[in-house]
Amino acid sequence: MDSGERAKACFRLGFNCAQSVMCAFSGSLGIDERTVKLMASGFGAGMGREQLTCGAVAGAVMAIGCRYFDPDNVAVTKERVYAKTREVLARFRALHATVSCRELLGVDLGTPEGQKQAREQGLFRLLCDPYVVDACRIVEDMAREEAAAAPT
């Protein structure tokens, strides 16, 4: 099962989109799933249902940070993480035109009415499943492209 399918399975168990994306990469990042779920717990639905940056995108950015940031080399790796983050955002926007949870879903999850509408219309499965999968694939593609470009 690839990372996108792992993330989708986690999402369907009730974990938020950020938790699901991070869970898909926890093993390869050397972070236990429990820690990942704790760390990413507030990032779902665009951060606590504020519907800012999509939680799946936030999870992808967290995975990028875990993969590329080295606390022993802050000056160099911070800039690398920022560049990779911009790349994640650009790739997601290329697929979906925005990284805004509110724009992606088209409902206000900050209200009971919006939450009900999202459930009744099946938006989490219809829309969020693909966003979670796409966020994972972006991270995987970037890692694969970097590996292919590395000198041997």
Closest C-alpha to 128, from 35, 52, 44: 44
- Residue 151 — very low, low, confident or very high, per pLDDT cuts 50/70/90? confident
Quick one: CA dihedral 31, 20, 67, 151, positive or negative? positive
Express each pLDDT in 118-142 by its tens digit: 999 999 999 999 999 999 999 999 9
Max alpha carbon distance in the chain (Å)? 56
Instruction: Let me know the angle formed at the C-alpha of 52 by 102 and 56, rounded to the nearest 5 degrees.
Output: 85
Express each pLDDT in 54-63 by its tens digit: 999 999 999 9
The answer to whether residue 1 scores a pLDDT higher than 90 is: no
Predicted local confidence at residue 150, as pLDDT:
84
Quick one: CA dihedral 100, 104, 107, 111, positive or negative? negative
Residues listed for the chain:
152
In single-letter form, the type of residue at position 88 comes to: V
Express each pLDDT in 23-43 by its tens digit: 999 999 999 999 999 999 999
For residue 26, count CB atoms less than 10 angstroms from its CB and return exposed for 0-12, middle for 13-18, buried for 19 or more.
Answer: buried
- Which H or E element spans position 117? helix 112-120
Express each pLDDT in 77-118 by its tens digit: 999 999 999 999 999 999 999 999 999 999 999 999 999 999
